[in-house]
Amino acid sequence: MAEQDKKTRILNAAMKIFACKGYQYTTIAEIAKEAGVSKGLVHVCFENKLDILLDVILFFIDTVNDLINQKLARCTNPVEKLHAVFAALMELMSQSSRNLYWGHILKEVLPDTEKIKDENLKKKYALIIGGARQLQLTLDELIADGQRQGLIESSLKPQIIRQIIGGSSQMLYQGLILESHGRRVMGYTEEDVRDGIVTLIDKFVIK
């Protein structure tokens, strides 16, 4: 098996175990068993459990930003682009049970960068912060552009509008994830969430 295939199997296994048990309670042995490889191989491919978590989150951020860039290339104005970004996020979060795992994993609290001593892990941490920041900047720039064009309400700063839409969306996604794992009955569906996000965005659109 090629090294990249081994790493992919380990990451997929870790994604599932992290989502089901939480990062803190997951062991390398459990990840190895789920991936069908030895503990030794896991340690060859990754420095430790934190290294695996960082790689999982990096993969998510890279996937999100790639999909958003594809969606934006097909849009013509800031409002369409804003809708496209949140549609892309919804698409990723609801495609499959594998993608729903991300909702649990993204809730994990990463250690402060000062507590990470390994330089390789620090670089991965910095990439995660940079990728997340890029998504925020993309949204802020879209909203600001819409405000300049008179398409989006301008009484609030772009960062506030982004937080309102993004925070609400995150809570709705999380509800779907909880329901999918049988932990809570939310009383709404994926279609309801899509409609809700569209309605929320349109509240800031000038008719």
**Which CATH number is associated with domain 47-202?**
1.10.357.10
Ranges of CATH 1.10.357.10 domains, the chain: 47-202
What is the pLDDT, as a whole number, of residue 171? 82
What is the pLDDT, as a whole number, of residue 148? 97
Residues 6+ positions from 30 with CB-CB distance below 8 Å: 17, 21
Is residue 180 helix, strand or coil?
helix
Structure tokens at 36: 């069908």
Query: Distance of CA 167 to CAs 12, 82, 146, 175, Å?
Result: 27, 15, 20, 13
What is the pLDDT, as a whole number, of residue 102? 62
Query: Tens of pLDDT along the chain (207 residues)?
Result: 566 788 889 998 998 888 778 888 899 999 999 999 999 999 999 999 999 999 988 888 888 888 888 889 999 999 999 999 998 887 777 655 555 566 667 666 677 777 788 888 999 989 988 988 888 999 999 999 999 999 999 999 999 999 999 989 888 877 777 666 666 677 888 888 889 999 999 999 998
What is the pLDDT, as a whole number, of residue 97? 55
Measure the CA–CA gap between 184 and 174, rounded to whole angstroms.
Answer: 11
For the 1-46 domain, the top CATH level (class) is mainly alpha
What is the pLDDT, as a whole number, of residue 118? 85
Phi, psi of 74 (to 5 degrees): -100, 5
Measure the CA–CA gap between 65 and 78, rounded to whole angstroms.
Answer: 17
Ranges of CATH 1.10.10.60 domains, the chain: 1-46
